[in-house]
Structure 1
Amino acid sequence: MKKKNERLTFLIALILAVIAWIYVMNEENPSITREFRPIPVKLLNADELVNRDLVIMEPVDPVISVTLSGLRNTLYNINANQIIAEVDLRGYDEGVARAPVHVRQPAETSVYAMSDRDILFTIERIVERTLTVETEVDDNTLERDFKYKDTVEPATITIKGPRSLANRVHEARVIADHSGERESFTITERIELVDVDGKPVQGLEMSTDTVSVSVEVKRVKVVPIVISHTGSLPEGVTIVNERIEPNTIRVQGPDEIVQNLENIRTESIDYSEMNVSGERKVGLQFPEGVTEDETIEPVYTYNVRTPVDRDMIIGRSAIELRNPPEDTNARIGDGNPIVVRLSGEEEDLDALRENQIKLYLDLDGLQAGTHEVQVQMEPISNLRFDPEAFPEIRVIIDEVTTENME
């Protein structure tokens, strides 16, 4: 009985000792939880994405917080870099993907909680685009009466990067400063990628980030168009009026030439071909180095007055005999009247009276006998005729003797 009591007493003492030890240990080094932040998340197999022309858009550098549980002395001897958080990106493709986070913690601790047990990744494909480089100029920097033409070299560039960024680019532009320039020049400018609102787009590679801008500078001026002629008008034709439409043109060219340019002449218009009124397109003659700054097709319009033919019938009795030989009597033989064809303006012909037509035969140098003499006519103001068109008519010249006189 005595031994049995001793065993019971020993067992109770042992239990009390264990309880006391546990109590003391909990008081001195209790089990607790502790949060660690920030814990960077390692991206495993990220190079596989790169090899497949993929890139993580967000989050680029993910972090989480991890809460560990363990003995106080153990936890307070741990720092954040002893906790390893990892995400394996193998096999993911373009789009939105949720990847689990794996945590490795120090010994004698356990993961009590995590801020994120998985991470939502946005993955995009790397694409290329070819863009034309555009130049933009502040109009306030331009000289009045001057025109600037920019030539960019290279004219296009290639951009490379995530699809969303590449698609966001509206244009590749350079800002060219033309302040005070009146002669052609070349400058090097930096390229800027901008969106549709003109805001810069970053994060893309460019085949080159600078271009050479050659600026051709020309003076612009409006000058009158002057009609240029060659040849003479056909006989009897007169110009009533002529004009060129449009009668001015805007030209461009080197400053030293254009500033002294007074007009632009048409190509020569041949007067000898102008028998009737009409219109025609004409070209322009530009000095060397000068060109039109606007596309026009000048039209030359002209009105001419052409002669009218009219026949007048003059009887033989109205023909005057001039310069008859002395001591002779001259008379015109019988025959048809003379047709006189006159050419001129209609109003002049309408105003003509028959007695203004002076036909005559010149008998100078002729002797007595019968002769064929060509009819002649005195000129009439503003009217024309063909002297060779008059016929020859018979003239009889008789000597005057004393017997005839008696």
Structure 2
Amino acid sequence: MLTFLRGRLWDTLGTAVLALVLAVVVWVNAIYQNDAPYQDTFPQAIPIEMLNAPDGMVITNNPDEVANVQIKAFSSSWDRLTVNNFRVTVDLEGLGEGLHTVPLEVTCSNPTVTIIGTQPETLYVQIEHVQEVEMPVDLQVEDEAALPLGYAMGTPMLNPSTVTVEGPASQVKKVTSVVADLSVAGRRESVDLNLPLRAVDDAGKQINGVTIEPSAVNTRLRIEQRQNYREVAVLARTSGQPARGYYVSSLEIEPATVTVVGPPSVIATMPGLVSIIGEVDVTGATRLIAQRAQLDLPEGASVYTEGDADPSEVLVTVDIDAVMGGTTVEVPLKTRKLREGYSVSLSVPSVDVILTGPSVVLDELALDLVEAYVDLTGLEAGTHQIKVVVELRSSQNPQLADLAVMSVSPAFVEADIDGPAPGAPGTLPTLPPPSASDPSPTPEPPATSESSSEGSLQTSPGTALGEEPEGQQEESDDAEVTPEP
């Protein structure tokens, strides 16, 4: 009995295990049907990490920084994957100086994802020893000749005076100096600046791929005026008044400042400016005035200059401009290019024109030199909106060229054009159409010998001279007069 029960138990257990296996197979098959895995390239590039870089070595080439990873994953996993699920590394452990081909290794935090491959599959890595050298800083002063006259500079002070250059040995060997650049053109004050540094070779070309520590140097350079020298401004004045309607718009002096040299007692008591001798007369002027003027210097002082220019003269330029104004004038409105035989009436007889320009020209403006018109070129009978055109007859008065038309009111006018009247010169007569109640015209009998002998044509009663009877116009056009035999 016990044996029988054991047999039944084993049979039942076997059946249960078989059912479980079949259920798992069906479940897995259902999952694969609804969530089948597929293979593709992950849509985002993965950053490449360099691991175990040798001490005292540096990578000198520019290997790829990202890689594309091809994977196989369930459809539901693709939507949940991010760049953070992947890690692409390159192991540099044990590599020495030189060029190496190193494979990429990829891992994924999702265990259901299978890594198929990467693009690129390997990296070319150039490794060099790092070199470090100390070098002095060289200050390159530019435009020293462009210092203002009478100014000089002292000895520059640099802090620090030496810096450290570090980088691949092949690049560091090219560096011959570390320089800072300073331009002193036009400077009148001492310099206290932090200037950036750059590494250069013996040809002055900048070397890249190296670092300079520190990257900037504090630079102090004293710039001061020499003794017995003084820089002063130049003053010029005008006299008189320009012509009516004009004014002095600006006054310029070249040079605006000069450097004066002389005995210390004279230089110390000089004011901060020096005037020209006399004044620039602008009486009645209507345009620019330019003239050279002598400087009124104290005894014993002179202007320090370079070149061939007269040190005691300056150029004074006075700009004379017209006083600007505006005015509104009423101008009769005319027409141009109306077709022959046509007539026109305008919605307004005149327009208001706003003019701006020199007041002296506006004050003397002759209104007959301002013309407003509408151009009717090619317009047929009917009502039209036409833009008003304003012309200034500058050919008769050249000063009108300085005026500007700012606005016209109204800017458009209505032109009502009528066609030519019937019977007017250059037109064909217009006949009224026949009515239904009119009797049909009776054909005219042939001309008799008497009428032919008279040498004239008979006209129907009531027909005007030069017209044919109604309904017979076309026939008469082709009619022939038979001469008497």
The verdict on a shared fold, with TM-score over 0.5 as the criterion, is no
Q: Which protein is richer in strand relative to its size?
A: 1
Higher relative CO (Cα under 8 Å, sequence separation at least 6) belongs to: 1
TM-score, length-scaled by structure 2: 0.35
TM-score, length-scaled by structure 1: 0.41
